[in-house]
Copies of this chain bind each other. A is one copy, B any other.
Amino acid sequence: MNLSRHFPESHIALAHGNGGRLMRELIESLFAHHLKNDLLDTAVDAACLPITTGAGDIMMTTDGFTVEPLEFPGGNIGSLAVHGTINDLAVSGAIPLYLTLNAFIEEGLEVALLDRVLESMAQACRESNVSVVAGDTKVLRRGQGGGIYFATTGIGIRPSHLKLGMQQIRPGDAILLSGSVGDHGTAVLLAREQFGLSGELNSDSASVLPICQALTELAGLRFMRDPTRGGLATVAHEMANATQASVRLIETQIPVLDPVRMVCEILGYDPMYLASEGRVVAVIDPATSDTAIEKLHALGYTDAAIIGHVEVGRAQVILQTEIGGERILQELEDDPLPRIC
């Protein structure tokens, strides 16, 4: 982790929240610079707390939610706020157990909307067997909020024997993706009236716990992450940077739904950078990859596929294109879609 104070901008820009290079610089140069300690690692999804229990390691994570609109096909900010945080625990190998909830509500919000959002949140909690154990609400003056912002913090337990992390990745390892990319980003995009588009696409917002639990049973599992802000390309970049190896992705193997492809072509987005909220990228021993795919297909994740591998080479992300060429996927710079999650 680079803790240098390289931060050339004098004011915060939208791109500082996009999951890409500028966000990484904001976190490293300001947040991690001041708050650094032995337990804070900005490159992991959840922290392991040094509290001894009989059950395993206590893992803790937090996430903020600002999605606009608050309701979208396939979910709303309530279900998203549960899925987002339990997914960070799940990809760490933990079983999510307890959540806390912060609500920042804008004056003038329709109570019926808040009611629907909380109902979805409760439903998502029940489905994943987690409980909200504490909360706090603040009301913001009209024009100082976005309807609702949520923050959820989660606690889970991870078996102590589980050794997952980017440091486990080796050249030759296979990269698995549990389903199509960019559904969430595109569904939210379409739900924004100003685009004048509508479609039948649903967000993929869901708990990835069943996927992660199936994969952690495999001996060859190295690492898991959910490709949210910044999408698959950003997770691939994080892996390339951490391992100082090349990440090669095979375009024809990466599932992209037709509506996502179409919207991206029309509006000039790249699905490789769009957020998913119910997918897992996993790195596994190639000897285990067939078994992994079979397990996920059997669980109903029929689009799960091996989409590439890690190879010796400089730290970069190579996309092997449909027509046989190669394209370097750059680290995300501009913010394609603010308030996507």
Let me know if A60 and B151 touch, CB within 8 A: no
Let me know if B55 and A54 touch, CB within 8 A: no
Q: How far is the CA of A175 from the CA of B150 in the complex (A)?
A: 36
Let me know if B139 and A16 touch, CB within 8 A: yes
Q: How far is the CA of A107 from the CA of B335 in the complex (A)?
A: 12
Please give, as numbers and ranges, the residues of chain B lying within 8 Å of A105 by CB-CB distance. Answer: 12, 16-17
Please give, as numbers and ranges, the residues of chain B lying within 8 Å of A102 by CB-CB distance. Answer: 62-64, 102, 151, 153
A161 CB within 8 Å of chain B: no
Interface of A: prevailing SS: mixed
A140 CB within 8 Å of chain B: yes
Please give, as numbers and ranges, the residues of chain B lying within 8 Å of A103 by CB-CB distance. Answer: 31, 64
In the complex, per-residue mask of A121-158: 1 if CB is within 8 Å of any chain B CB, else 0: 11001000001111111111101111001010101010
Q: How far is the CA of A143 from the CA of B145 in the complex (A)?
A: 8
Task: Considering the complex, give the chain B residue whose CB is closest to the CB of A63.
Answer: B136
Name the residue among A15, A54, A151 with the largest chain B CB count within 10 angstroms.
Answer: A151
Copies assembled: 2
**A window 5-37: CB within 8 A of B:** 7, 9-18, 23, 26-27, 30-31, 33-35, 37
Q: A52-B55, A58-B51 are in contact. Are A101 and B35 (CB under 8 A)?
A: yes
- Interface pick from A111-119, A245-253, A301-309: A111-119
A145's contact among B10, B54, B65, B144, by CB below 8 Å, is which? B144
Task: Considering the complex, give the chain B residue whose CB is closest to the CB of A135.
Answer: B31
Let me know if A104 and B106 touch, CB within 8 A: no
Let me know if A139 and B60 touch, CB within 8 A: no
A40 CB within 8 Å of chain B: yes
Please give, as numbers and ranges, the residues of chain B lying within 8 Å of A135 by CB-CB distance. Answer: 27, 31, 35, 40, 42, 62
A47 CB within 8 Å of chain B: yes
A76 CB within 8 Å of chain B: no
Please give, as numbers and ranges, the residues of chain B lying within 8 Å of A11 by CB-CB distance. Answer: 108-111
A66 CB within 8 Å of chain B: yes
Let me know if A23 and B118 touch, CB within 8 A: no
A140's contact among B52, B66, B125, by CB below 8 Å, is which? B66
Let me know if A111 and B60 touch, CB within 8 A: no
Please give, as numbers and ranges, the residues of chain B lying within 8 Å of A140 by CB-CB distance. Answer: 17, 66, 146, 149, 339
A318 CB within 8 Å of chain B: no
A61 CB within 8 Å of chain B: yes
Let me know if A132 and B37 touch, CB within 8 A: yes
Let me know if B13 and A155 touch, CB within 8 A: no
- 13 pairs across A/B with beta carbons < 8 Å? A12-B107, A12-B114, A12-B139, A17-B139, A37-B133, A39-B98, A39-B133, A42-B135, A46-B134, A52-B53, A60-B134, A61-B100, A66-B104
Extra inter-chain contacts (9) besides given A47-B100, A63-B102, CB under 8 Å? A10-B110, A11-B110, A12-B111, A17-B140, A42-B135, A51-B53, A102-B153, A104-B149, A104-B151
